[in-house]
Amino acid sequence: MPAYIIVEVDITDQVQYEEYKKLTPATVEKYGGKFVLRGQPVEALEGDWTHDRLVMLQFPDGKSAKVWYNSKEYQEAKEIRSKAGSAKFFLIESE
């Protein structure tokens, strides 16, 4: 069953974040994932949205998503992202 990672991002350094965006796609692809959406702005239809960006990734299953998130390749990109802002990652596995 597919698994999804939803990411809420707050960007403090757009230049660094652009570097992160260049590195991440190859790491996602390597672990069987793909971007479903990478967007801004987000329009809140109900409730509040206070983040700069929303990203959704799809992986074949939760295990693949976790392997990607913990992979050496992604850790290198993650280090750059941590200098560019903050993010919250959520894993959702389909039923």
* Integer Cα distance of 70 and 63 in angstroms: 11
Closest CA to 11 of 88, 90, 84: 84
Element (H, E) at 93: strand 85-93
User: Integer distance in angstroms from the first to the last C-alpha of the chain?
Assistant: 7
Give the domain range for residue 37.
3-93
Number of CB atoms found within 10 A of residue 88's CB: 10
Asked if 35 contacts 25 with a C-beta cutoff of 8 angstroms, the reply is yes
CATH number of domain containing 51: 3.30.70.100
25-48 pLDDT, tens per residue? 999 999 999 999 998 788 999 999
**Domain tally, the chain:** 1
Q: Is the pLDDT of residue 67 over 90?
A: yes
Based on its alpha-carbon atoms, the radius of gyration of the chain, rounded to whole angstroms, reads: 13
- pTM recorded for the entire structure: 0.91
